[in-house]
Amino acid sequence: MTAPPPSTIDISNVTHRFNGQLAVDDLSLAVAAGETVALVGRTGAGKSTALHLVMGTIAPHAGTVRVAGVDPCRDVAALRGKLAISFQNDRLLPWRTAVENVAFGLEILGHARSDCRRRARDWLARVKMAGAEEKYAHELSGGMRQRVSLARALAVDPAILLLDESFSQLDHVTSQELRRDVSRLIHALGKTCLFVTHRIDDAIEMADRVVVVRAPARVALEVRPSDAVRGNPERAARLHDDIAAALGGDERTLEST
C-alpha cells in the first residue's frame, strides 16, 4: 500500500481564543505537498485565524501547528523564503513601480539588485502583466494590482503559498480570470497552497480539496472537486449547494462569485 504524501502544513487539535472567546475549536487540517486546499467559511468562522496560525503571527492555546516540519511561531528563520502570502488588499508600496514591488521580497532575501529586477520582470510576464512594469499602483486597476501582489509572492519561489481572500474584492469576470491563471501557475509549479475564502466558486474552481468550517472553526464538510464536476454546470451547481448548506445558509443568500 502506497504511503500518503507527507503533510507540508499540519494543524493538529488546535484551539485558539481571542479575549476569552473561542475562535478555533479543536481544528485538525493537513495539507499535502503540492496540494491546493480551500478553507471556506462565513465571516467570523475562524478561517482567517487558522491562516494566521499557519503564518505564525499567533500561537495556538492548545494543539500544534507545523509548517514544513517546524513551528511557524518559534522557527521563523527556518521558513524564510519558503512561505509567501498574498492578502485581500494588494498591499503594494505606492512609491514603487510594479517591477520594484515584485522585486521587494527578493531584495529582503539578499538577492543582487539586477537579479531581483530580472526575476520580477519574468514573474510579471507570467501573471500577464508584461508592459506594466514601470507603472505605479495608482495607475493599475484592482485586478492588475492583485496580479502584481501575486507575482511578488511567487517571485521568491516559495514552497508554500497562502492566499487570504485574494480574489474577493474583484468583480466576477476579473476574479474568475485571475483565479484560473493563478490555479494553473501553482499547479504547474507544484506549490502547496492554502487559501481562505467565503466565496464558494473560488473554492470549487481552484482547490483540490475544499474544507468548510463553521464558527468556531469546526470542520463541517470536506469535499474534493474534480475536473469532471467543474466541467459540468449541473454537477458544479449541486456541489455549490452542498457547500452552501454546510456553511449554514440558503445558497441564494450566500455570496459565491
pLDDT at 76 over 90: no
CB 196 within 8 A of CB 50: yes
Q: What grid cell was written down for 205?
A: 474552481
Tell me the one-letter amino acid at 256: S
Cis before 233? omega within 30: no
| pTM of the predicted protein model | 0.88
Residue 134 DSSP label: T
Domain ranges of the chain: 7-82+159-253, 92-157
pLDDT at 257: 35
- CA 149 to CA 44: how far, in whole Å? 25
- CA 238 to CA 45: how far, in whole Å? 23
pLDDT at 241: 93
pLDDT at 151: 92
pLDDT at 253 over 60: no
Give the residue-averaged pLDDT of 141-147: 90
- The CATH class of the 7-82+159-253 domain is alpha beta
218 — pLDDT class (breaks 50, 70, 90): confident
5 — pLDDT class (breaks 50, 70, 90): low
pLDDT at 251: 43
pLDDT at 173: 80
Q: What grid cell was written down for 86?
A: 498574498
pLDDT at 249: 64
